[in-house]
Amino acid sequence: MSERKSEISAKGRKRKKRRRRGLRIFLDILLFLAAAIVSLALVFQLKQVKVEGNVHNTKDEVLTLVRQCPTEDNTLLTALMNNGRTFPDEGFISSFKVSITSVSSVTVTVVEKRLVGALKDNGTYWYFDGDGIVQARSHALTDGDGIPVVEGLEPDGEMTMEEKLPVSGLKTKLTMLDSLRDRIDQGLEAPDSASFLEDGTLTLVYGDVSVKLGDGSHIGIRLAKLADILPILEQDNYAGTLHLENYDGSQRNIVFKKNEI
């Protein structure tokens, strides 16, 4: 009987030792994690944020959005919590890409929404995407943003954010503007203005050069030819009208009428 009690007692002591050993390991892990967190907090102190890709929003406006996340000015947390953030309701900004450049600095790259045009109505510029949805508005234009002001789109109703443009016959016009945006993204200079006539044909204006693109047929081919010809016209200070409304890629000769606007 006494032998059995000794055996039970020995087993109990072993269990207690295992529990104490497990507790020590658990505490050691906690201490290690706490030390790691403190080290990360001390080492990765954010001191500098570089902002790039922001055309319509100022650096301060971008930084305000970055600071909406509770990052405690920590480099790692700033990158982790902001990288890939999307802003469906934030005007021109679509998303952020954040990269760590050092233990104390990050670079925030602003990805702006793909907008194909701006329509001026009652003193406000309404920016819309390739589906005709109003994504942003502003009381002033931003130079060099690659988004043309489009004339000849007459609203039939009230302009509203995140709603489709209240413009009749919009589908073909959006296709043409979307193609123009594609070509601008590929290097074509953005026009000073884009105008739709009553018959739905599109005309672009570059300084003293007017470009007739016609209807939506062969729009990609016509814009590609424009990209080839426009630098020559601007280099030689030509003034007049470039006729591409009938161009389908098969013609060798392109009509340019000087002093015709």
pLDDT digits (tens, 9 = 90+) for 122-174: 899 999 999 999 999 999 888 778 899 999 998 999 999 999 999 988 999 99
Question: Model confidence at 193, in pLDDT bands (50, 70, 90)?
Answer: very high
Residue 85 backbone phi and psi in degrees, to 5: -60, 140
Looking at the fold, whether 58 and 73 belong to one and the same domain comes out as yes
Residue 88, pLDDT score? 84
Residue 24, pLDDT score? 74
Looking at the fold, whether 76 and 145 belong to one and the same domain comes out as no
Q: In 226-242, which positions are buried (b, 16+ CB within 10 angstroms) versus exposed (e)?
A: beebbeebeeeebeebb
Looking at the fold, whether 145 and 253 belong to one and the same domain comes out as yes
Looking at the fold, whether 137 and 249 belong to one and the same domain comes out as yes
Question: Model confidence at 41, in pLDDT bands (50, 70, 90)?
Answer: low
Cross-strand pairs, 206: 209
Q: How far apart are CA 124 and CA 141, in angstroms?
A: 9
Looking at the fold, whether 26 and 61 belong to one and the same domain comes out as no
Does the pLDDT of residue 184 top 90, yes or no?
yes
- Which residues in 113-219 belong to E strands, given as ranges? 117-121, 124-128, 134-138, 150-151, 193-196, 202-206, 209-214
Least confident span in 163-167, 179-183, 202-206, 256-260: 256-260
As for how many domains the chain has, the answer is: 3
Looking at the fold, whether 107 and 217 belong to one and the same domain comes out as no
CATH number at residue 207: 3.40.50
- Greater confidence, 157 or 33? 157
Looking at the fold, whether 24 and 137 belong to one and the same domain comes out as no
Residue 15, pLDDT score? 62
Q: Shortest CA distance to 115 belongs to which of 161, 143, 146, 84?
A: 146
Q: Which of 112, 130, 146 is the last residue of a domain?
A: 112
Residue 85, pLDDT score? 93
Least confident span in 31-35, 160-164, 177-181: 31-35
Does the pLDDT of residue 48 top 90, yes or no?
yes
Does the pLDDT of residue 12 top 80, yes or no?
no
Interval 81-95: pLDDT, tens: 999 999 988 789 999
Looking at the fold, whether 157 and 208 belong to one and the same domain comes out as yes
Looking at the fold, whether 135 and 249 belong to one and the same domain comes out as yes
Least confident span in 25-34, 81-90, 113-122, 168-177: 25-34
Residue 76, pLDDT score? 87
Does the pLDDT of residue 117 top 90, yes or no?
yes
Expressed as residue numbers, the domain containing 101 is 48-112
Q: Which of 68, 91, 112 is the last residue of a domain?
A: 112
Residue 144, pLDDT score? 74
Q: Quick check: 125 and 119 in contact, CB under 8 A?
A: yes
Interval 218-255: pLDDT, tens: 999 999 999 999 999 999 899 999 999 999 999 888 99
Share of residues in the chain with pLDDT > 90 (%): 64
Does the pLDDT of residue 14 top 70, yes or no?
no
Both tokens of 237, joined, read 């200070």
Looking at the fold, whether 179 and 244 belong to one and the same domain comes out as yes
